[in-house]
């Protein structure tokens, strides 16, 4: 079985770095007390952010406002926005 490794472009890596920095420095303390478990999509140039209980919801809101942009998504109060658990049987 061959697994494909997803590699981010340099632009995507920069958005992830800037988005994580914005979340940690400005948004975490503001959002975690009230919105733990929700998702936030961050547009790193404007520093606008969009909240919702589902990842698809925040991306829909963000894309409506900034249709040509990429976003950094965080699950508030968790180390990652999503987890992937796989079981392989050979």
Question: How would you classify residue 4: left for phi > 0, otherwise alpha for psi between -120 and 50, otherwise beta?
Answer: beta
**Can you give the pTM of this predicted structure?**
0.81
Helix (H, G, I), strand (E, B) or coil at 9: coil
Q: How many CA atoms does the CB half-sphere of 39 hold within 13 Å?
A: 18
Concatenated DSSP letters for 35-87? Answer: HTT-EEEEETTTTEEEEESSHHHHHHHHHHH-TT---EEEETTSSSS------
Q: Are strands 72-75 and 48-52 parallel, antiparallel or unpaired?
A: unpaired
The string of pLDDT tens digits covering residues 9-62 is 899 899 999 999 999 999 999 999 999 999 999 999 999 999 999 999 999 999
């Amino acid at each position: 079985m061959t697994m494909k490794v997803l590699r981010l472009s340099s632009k995507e890596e920069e958005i992830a770095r800037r988005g994580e920095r914005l979340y940690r420095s400005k948004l975490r303390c503001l959002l975690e007390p009230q919105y733990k478990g929700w998702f936030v999509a961050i547009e790193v140039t404007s520093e606008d952010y969009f909240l919702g209980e589902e990842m698809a919801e925040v991306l829909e809101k963000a894309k409506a406002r900034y249709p040509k942009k990429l976003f950094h998504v965080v699950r508030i109060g968790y180390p990652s926005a999503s987890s992937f658990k796989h079981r392989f049987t050979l």
